[in-house]
Structure 1
Amino acid sequence: MNRIQRTAERESLLLRGFWLLIFFFVWQLAELVLLAVVLAQLVLRLAQGSINQGLQAFGDSLSQYLAQIGRYATFNSERKPWPLSDWPVPRPADIEVVQVVTPEEPKA
């Protein structure tokens, strides 16, 4: 029985290695997508003075997804990231976006 258990553990570890290889490539792609979201938010903030709420939510869930991959890869979690589990739900922002109000010039 001990030999059967070691064989099962080895097969399980090989399967995990296979998933880690796949998630390595997914990580690389997700980093590029996150960079695009960051740059888009920066441009929108500079051009319009406000951020895009949809991009903000997607950026948060993508960040959580990358964290899930990291936790799985470092053996801190047995839960496989998306698409083998649910996509992370975006959380509310930690900061408040302050709208800059310029004072009106006094009427003469």
Structure 2
Amino acid sequence: MYRATNETTRNWQNTSVWLRGLFMLLFGFIGGFARFLVTIIAVFQFFSLLLTRKANAPLKSFGESLNNYIYQINQFLTVNSEQYPFPLSSWPDEKPVYRYSPRD
């Protein structure tokens, strides 16, 4: 039978973990909406290519920063980053640094 220890009880009472969990839930929904916006941008870019044979430059720039924002959210949700995403930090405008390590 499982017996609760003082350390386990303290972990459950840690408000910072519960607060992070609440923000993870919130940013999970925001991330889903942001992915939907990427789909809308893709549709507009398709029609822009169809009509003008050029991508819409402002949408292209916004799409890149939106992708960076989604990356920032995913890093937070997977606990690879302690930095809270926008609006609790600045909007990402530079390209993120992707960490890639090949399998050995």
Alpha-carbon distance between aligned partners in 1 of 2:94 and 2:83, rounded to the nearest angstrom: 18
Structure 2 gaps of 5+ residues are 1-5, 96-104
Q: Between Structure 1 and Structure 2, whose CA radius of gyration is higher?
A: 1
Alpha-carbon distance between aligned partners in 2 of 1:77 and 1:9, rounded to the nearest angstrom: 23
TM-score by length of structure 1 reads: 0.74
Residues 1:65 and 2:69 are matched in the alignment: yes
- Secondary structure of the 1:67 match is helix
Tell me the equivalent position of 2:3.
Answer: none
Q: What number of residue pairs does the alignment pair up? A: 88
Tell me the equivalent position of 1:55.
Answer: 59
Q: CA deviation at 1:7?
A: 5.3
Structure 1 gaps of 5+ residues are 92-108
Alpha-carbon distance between aligned partners in 2 of 1:32 and 1:47, rounded to the nearest angstrom: 23
Deviation readout 1:49-79 (Å, 9 max, x if unpaired) = 0011100000000000000000000010000
After superposition, the CA RMSD in angstroms is: 1.9
Contact 1:57/1:90, CA 8 A, preserved across alignment: no
The list of structure 1 runs, each at least 4 consecutive aligned residues, that deviate by more than 2 angstroms after superposition, is: 6-10
Residues 1:46 and 2:64 are matched in the alignment: no
Question: Identity percentage over the alignment?
Answer: 35
Distance 1:8 1:85, change over 3 A: farther
